[in-house]
């Protein structure tokens, strides 16, 4: 029986076949690959021939995904909410061609990481900052950081501003939505400042950002409030696209030879919520040079990891 031409996964695979080359010989780490967008991204890359390392907080679930991913996929335990564990995982990882920083916390109730940082900024940004920094000299080609259009809310009337010096939210009233938006802004600031430093150092390594649009996953089902969970599920049904399609922008940023250093990629329709990968436009705040420097200094201070660029 011929493949279903209307099946989103089949469409996604055809698009990847047409837009990224053979990935044989490349080794790629994908954080948060134990489900949702992470598992879909890993599957796309493995299907293209890459050796994929699934960096997961739940290694048991990661092993299940690795078996279904195929292509020699393997698991690296990684708990981004614990900087000591991050260091151990980075030490255990060999040389790779790319790292995809995808794992994250989304709209979660108040909570702290093992190091005392609010969990959105602690996991989504600081954990990745530490992991990539410790791996940097073993990354051959690129760093890809997954962000969200939510970063554009930061600093707007009615929404909070990102304060890099306060990762524990000691000086502000907590908002799960603000925390998520600010962590996603930190992701973009990180990419932009890292690329600036790599360029200044004449490094062949590049940093790239990607956002998946609105993907129909369980990511937003952890608000602790039934209203929030109902809103998330209704939104997924209304405008969400399957993880296999949402992961296209991430896989493209990771595997395409056509991406630009410091580039930003996301879906091309419905205000970046649905569609196929295209060049995206970040909010102006993501290239604020002063905020980039503050983010970097604070991140080095709070993680204890200093980059070699």
Per the domain annotation, does 115 fall within a domain?
A: yes
Strand order in the sheet with 27-31: 74-77, 51-56, 27-31, 96-101, 139-146, 206-210, 264-269, 274-279
**How confident is the model over 125-178, as pLDDT tens digits?**
999 999 999 999 999 999 999 999 999 999 999 999 999 999 999 999 999 999
Q: Over range 11-40, report the average pLDDT.
A: 92
Per the domain annotation, does 1 fall within a domain?
A: no
Per the domain annotation, does 73 fall within a domain?
A: yes
- Alpha-carbon distance of 300 to 309, in angstroms, equals 12
Per the domain annotation, does 188 fall within a domain?
A: yes
Q: Over range 230-253, report the average pLDDT.
A: 75
Look at residue 126 in the predicted model and tell me its pLDDT: 98
Q: Over range 12-28, report the average pLDDT.
A: 92
Residue-wise DSSP of 243-301: HHHHTHHHHHHHH-TTPPTT-EEEEEETTTTEEEEEE----GGGG-HHHHHHHHHHHHH
For 171, other C-beta atoms within 10 Å of its C-beta total 8
């598992």: which residue's tokens? Answer: 39
Look at residue 215 in the predicted model and tell me its pLDDT: 64
Q: pTM for this one?
A: 0.92
Which has more confidence, 171 or 12? 171
Look at residue 235 in the predicted model and tell me its pLDDT: 60
Confidence of residue 8 (pLDDT cuts 50, 70, 90): confident
Per the domain annotation, does 90 fall within a domain?
A: yes
Look at residue 7 in the predicted model and tell me its pLDDT: 76
Check 117, 180, 252, 307 and give the catalytic one: 180
| Cβ atoms 94, 264 nearer than 8 A | no
180 belongs to the catalytic site? yes
Look at residue 3 in the predicted model and tell me its pLDDT: 47
Look at residue 248 in the predicted model and tell me its pLDDT: 95
Per the domain annotation, does 2 fall within a domain?
A: no
pLDDT at 17 over 60: yes
**Long-range contacts from 82-87, C-beta under 8 angstroms, 24+ separation:** 82/113, 82/114, 82/115, 83/113, 83/114, 83/115, 83/126, 83/127, 83/130, 83/303, 83/304, 84/114, 85/114, 86/127, 86/130, 86/131, 86/134, 87/130, 87/134
Q: How many domains does the chain have?
A: 1
Average pLDDT, the chain: 90
Per the domain annotation, does 3 fall within a domain?
A: no
Domain that holds residue 214: 8-303
Alpha-carbon separation of residue 68 from 42, 205, 287 (angstroms): 10, 31, 39
- Alpha-carbon distance of 31 to 246, in angstroms, equals 16
Q: 62-66, 70-74, 218-222: which has the minimum mean pLDDT?
A: 218-222
**How confident is the model over 263-280, as pLDDT tens digits?**
999 998 777 678 899 999
Q: 279 CB contacts (<8 Å, ≥6 apart)?
A: 263, 264, 265
Look at residue 127 in the predicted model and tell me its pLDDT: 98
**Domain CATH code at residue 286:** 3.40.50.720
Per the domain annotation, does 148 fall within a domain?
A: yes
Confidence of residue 239 (pLDDT cuts 50, 70, 90): low
pLDDT at 65 over 90: yes
Which has more confidence, 291 or 235? 291
Which has more confidence, 271 or 76? 76
Q: Over range 238-251, report the average pLDDT.
A: 83
Look at residue 221 in the predicted model and tell me its pLDDT: 42
**How confident is the model over 185-220, as pLDDT tens digits?**
999 999 999 999 999 999 999 999 999 986 655 554
């Amino acid at each position: 029986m011929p493949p279903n031409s209307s099946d989103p996964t089949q469409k996604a695979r055809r698009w990847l076949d047409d837009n990224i080359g053979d990935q044989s010989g490349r080794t790629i780490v994908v954080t948060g690959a134990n489900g949702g967008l992470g598992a879909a991204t890993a599957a796309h890359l493995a299907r293209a021939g890459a050796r994929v390392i699934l960096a997961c907080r739940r290694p048991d679930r990661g092993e299940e995904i690795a078996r279904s991913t195929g292509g020699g996929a393997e698991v690296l335990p990684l708990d981004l909410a614990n900087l000591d564990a991050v260091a151990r995982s980075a030490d255990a990882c060999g040389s790779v061609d790319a790292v995809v920083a995808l794992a994250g916390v989304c709209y979660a109730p108040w909570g702290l990481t093992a190091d005392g940082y609010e969990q959105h900024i602690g996991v989504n940004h600081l954990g990745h900052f530490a992991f990539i920094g410790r791996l940097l000299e073993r990354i051959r080609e690129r760093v890809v950081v997954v962000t969200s259009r939510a970063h554009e809310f930061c600093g707007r009337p009615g929404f909070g501003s990102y304060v890099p010096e306060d990762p524990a939210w000691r000086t502000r009233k907590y908002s799960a939505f603000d925390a998520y938006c600010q962590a996603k802004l930190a992701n973009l600031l990180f990419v932009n400042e890292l690329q600036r430093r790599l360029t200044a150092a004449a490094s062949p390594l590049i940093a790239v950002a990607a956002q998946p649009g609105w993907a129909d996953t369980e990511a937003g089902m952890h608000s602790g409030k039934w209203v929030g969970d109902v809103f998330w599920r209704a939104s997924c049904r209304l405008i969400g696209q399957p993880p296999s399609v949402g992961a296209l922008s991430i896989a493209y940023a990771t595997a395409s030879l056509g991406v630009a250093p410091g580039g930003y990629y996301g879906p091309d329709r419905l205000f970046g919520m649905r569609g196929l990968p295209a060049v995206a436009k970040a909010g102006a705040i993501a290239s604020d040079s002063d905020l980039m420097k503050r983010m970097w200094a604070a991140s080095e201070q709070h993680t204890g990891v200093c980059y070699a660029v």
